[in-house]
Structure 1
Amino acid sequence: MDWIVHHYWPELDRKHVRRADIEPILEHFRSRPEINIQLLGHSVQQRPIELVSIGRGKQVVLAWTQMHGDEPTATAAVFDIIEQLLSDNRSLVTQVLNHFTLHFIPMLNPDGAERKTRENAQGIDINRDARKRCSPEAQILHNAVSKLRPDIAFNLHDQNRYYGVGNTDELSTIAFLAPPFDQEQSVNHARGRAMSLIAVMRQVLEARINGHVARYMDEYSPRCFGDTIAAMGASTLLIESGEFPNDPNRQTARAMNRLAIFTALDAVSQNTWQDVGEADYFAIPANNENHWGDIVLRNVTFAGNANSVEFQTDMLIRKVEGEYQVAEIGDLADQRGITELGCDQLTLSRGEPYRVSEPLTLDDLAYRAILKNGYSHFIDTNDNLAVRTELPVFSTTQPLPTTFHKLPAIGILSTAGSPRYAVLGRKVVELEGEP
């Protein structure tokens, strides 16, 4: 069965989701008699955290999203799932509703979502607060699990854009884990079922996003909720949403969350999950951290300066502590870039600082003209610069160093002294031709 018809909530096709974005959808659900919405409590800053329930079956499912406030993909997917359960009258959907009672906590960390931070308003990573439960959000999740005693739990997250699938050249769009419940990484019935369900989900997803599914390595952490809930007897499944080529809002991962969850529910309701086992789970390629970067420049010539001679090698750009930096210079044959550029005939220099001495409105046309003249960043000590372009702009009070390593990824790529490209954070902007 094709579970993916369309995205039910197109307004959630966005890079980030906050509480205000989901309020209208929750209001829509409140009007439906099939849905029960219960207030579980409030965040540190008194934003509501609610439980959305649907279904009439004996097996209990619990899923929660945005435990990390800056990880919104599964929030959109969960609302799609609920709407599909309400509006899709196919028999297999009815079977899910008859077999399960499904509970969703969409946006466990609304304060973090508001600020687009991983942590809550206390600065606590809720997913590391399963033991002490210093945060009200951790207390809310713990209480919900203790009361509902789910048979199946979906722990839904986003991962950074740099994960790859094993040693392949593919981005990790979906990564799974059946978290261990003890230091020995034992496998009981509940964890064994989680492993089998992941194997089934992987088979189905591979037909859609071939080569983009990975598996997290097992590491037991008693302070994490997935491990703690697994120890309480639930078949716990971590799903991490990642990048897919040319999909900046992660709508592919959003659809694959829905497909994965419905596939798991279908496998449980029809008892087909036992057709696969641990070996199929462990056959999923490992989720390879930092296998990718935003940009890799291949065989670029670094211009010589007072401190170095000219040399040719590769360069990697990646986001580090909120800033796109040159993370590595050297042999990057095993590294992949979401954007890659062959630079055999190109020389990279820092570019000149453009000193803004009077008011300047920087639209696309004006900016490209400045970049074409070899300027890469702006010295603006009196706030004279008005930015009217979507391209990244780097403004500072001092010229940038001529070196690159561990410094902002700002520079000019030239051929025979003529600028051809501007490197602006995670973007490479071609300077020849029309804007």
Structure 2
Amino acid sequence: MDLEALFNKNKEKTIQGRYITLDDIEPLLNSETLKKDVKIIGESVLGKPIYSYQKGSGKLKIYLWSQMHGNESTTTKALFDFINLLNNGSDLANQLLDSFTFYCIPILNPDGAKLYTRANANNIDLNRDSQDLTQPESKILRAVFEEFKPDYCFNLHDQRTIFGVADTGKPATLSFLAPSYNEEREINDSRLKAINLIAGINEVLQKYIPGQIGRFDDSFNINCIGDTFQYLGVPTLLFEAGHYPNDYEREKTRKFVFMSLVTSFIILNENDVVDNRNDKYLNIPQNNVVFFDFMYKNVKINYDGNEIITNFVAQYKEELIDYKLNFNAYIVEIGDLKGKFGHFEYDAKGALFQDGIKNLPLEGKVADFNLNKKVFFVNGKIKN
């Protein structure tokens, strides 16, 4: 199957970029194609509707939710791409709808989505509220779980650009996890189902993004929703959409999330998760915090009258200003930086750092500077 062509055919073109809110998806949910399968299942802290989309008549029940963290929107885009597939009338769509019942919550945290924050309007991380259930959004997610009684859960998230695949120097464009169900991180039948499915997804995705898939840390935390659902005996998969080179809007990454979802359901439909693939799962390299957005090497600075050669790095801060998302680059670290990488790397070859102020790359400063007054950088990038 040509997964790339399938994505291009079903991509939802009305939503793109990183700032995805309820305002962006409501026209889709209210469209003639989708509205008959859409319900309002509750409200957020600020009274915004939380929508569900349910489709299919199959025996195997699949529960998917996105934007539990409001600023993690890549999987929301991919979810609508997948919903388009379910509605395109193709043989594949009909096969999936006959085999599965899909229950989707496209944006669980509409308040956080509007504010572009991880937390909800009460400043609570919903992914740490699975036991106390103090928030209306957490209660809705749990109530659906108990009523729908899923066979598999898909917990859809984004991860920061800091994550790489082990020490390979490749970004973790996608990372997966079969969450633990106990402190000992043991493997029972439920967790093994998630492990086997992730191993199958990885095998397919390696053809498209070789070496760019990581395995998320499996430390047990019962307050996290994935760990809770795994503990309750339902195979749960964590998706973490990460960085693809030069793709800060995560339009490329959304494609790989879509491919992963389609691959998951093809594997399940073919009942191709019966073998123990734990070894293949463990062979997926672990995520590692090794990346910065910008790395500048071999830069000359004048420090207390002494000229030294050093390196420094800058990181984007995603800042919402007048409901427009801005990527602003700030210097975050200076030094040897051994074992670290930059998504953009520049070798200054001993050129002198100047910024017209203190002429030093100071932590917390915007990454506007020049080298030898010949190469100028604005917001981290070379000015053309």
**Do the two structures share a fold, i.e. TM-score over 0.5?**
yes
2-structure distance, mates of 1:60, 1:169? 38
- Which residue number in structure 2 is paired with residue 370 of structure 1? none
- Are 2:19 and 1:22 equivalent residues in the alignment? no
How far does the alpha carbon of each residue in 1:178-231 deviate from its partner, in whole angstroms, 9 at most, with x for none? 001111212111110100100000011111111110001211001110101111
2-structure distance, mates of 1:2, 1:47? 39
- Which residue number in structure 1 is paired with residue 311 of structure 2? 314
1-structure distance, mates of 2:104, 2:192? 23
Written as runs of structure 1 = structure 2, the 5 A alignment for 1:12-411 is 12-28=15-31, 31-32=33-34, 35-90=36-91, 92-275=92-275, 277-289=277-289, 291-304=290-303, 307-319=304-316, 324-352=329-357, 401-411=358-368
Report the TM-score when normalising by structure 1: 0.82
2-structure distance, mates of 1:8, 1:341? 35
Secondary structure of the residue that 2:334 maps to in structure 1? Answer: strand
2-structure distance, mates of 1:111, 1:242? 23
- Contact 1:40–1:51 under 8 Å retained in 2: yes
2-structure distance, mates of 1:162, 1:60? 34
2-structure distance, mates of 1:421, 1:141? 51
Structure 2 gaps of 5+ residues are 320-327
Q: Kindly state the Cα deviation for residue 97 of structure 1 after the two structures are TM-superposed.
A: 1.1
1-structure distance, mates of 2:248, 2:89? 28
Report the TM-score when normalising by structure 2: 0.92
Secondary structure of the residue that 1:10 maps to in structure 2? Answer: coil
Alignment RMSD: 1.8
For residue 412 of structure 1, what is the amino acid of its counterpart? F
2-structure distance, mates of 1:61, 1:300? 52
- Are 2:367 and 1:414 equivalent residues in the alignment? no
1-structure distance, mates of 2:374, 2:206? 39
For residue 58 of structure 2, what is the amino acid of its counterpart? G
Secondary structure of the residue that 2:248 maps to in structure 1? Answer: coil
How far does the alpha carbon of each residue in 1:362-421 deviate from its partner, in whole angstroms, 9 at most, with x for none? xxxxxxxxxxxxxxxxxxxxxxxxxxxxxxxxxxxxxxx554342314343233xxx123
- Contact 2:301–2:360 under 8 Å retained in 1: no
2-structure distance, mates of 1:264, 1:123? 33
For residue 297 of structure 2, what is the amino acid of its counterpart? R
1-structure distance, mates of 2:259, 2:107? 20
How far does the alpha carbon of each residue in 1:10-29 deviate from its partner, in whole angstroms, 9 at most, with x for none? 1212221011100111011x
Structure 1 gaps of 5+ residues are 353-400
* Identical positions, percent: 32
How far does the alpha carbon of each residue in 1:319-364 deviate from its partner, in whole angstroms, 9 at most, with x for none? 4696643222221242111111110141112324xxxxxxxxxxxx
For residue 52 of structure 2, what is the amino acid of its counterpart? L
Secondary structure of the residue that 1:407 maps to in structure 2? Answer: coil
- Contact 1:130–1:228 under 8 Å retained in 2: yes
Residue correspondences, number? 373
2-structure distance, mates of 1:308, 1:236? 58
For residue 13 of structure 2, what is the amino acid of its counterpart? P
Q: Kindly state the Cα deviation for residue 276 of structure 1 after the two structures are TM-superposed.
A: 5.1
Secondary structure of the residue that 2:14 maps to in structure 1? Answer: helix
Q: Kindly state the Cα deviation for residue 104 of structure 1 after the two structures are TM-superposed.
A: 0.3
- Which residue number in structure 2 is paired with residue 423 of structure 1? 377
Secondary structure of the residue that 2:87 maps to in structure 1? Answer: helix
Secondary structure of the residue that 1:200 maps to in structure 2? Answer: helix
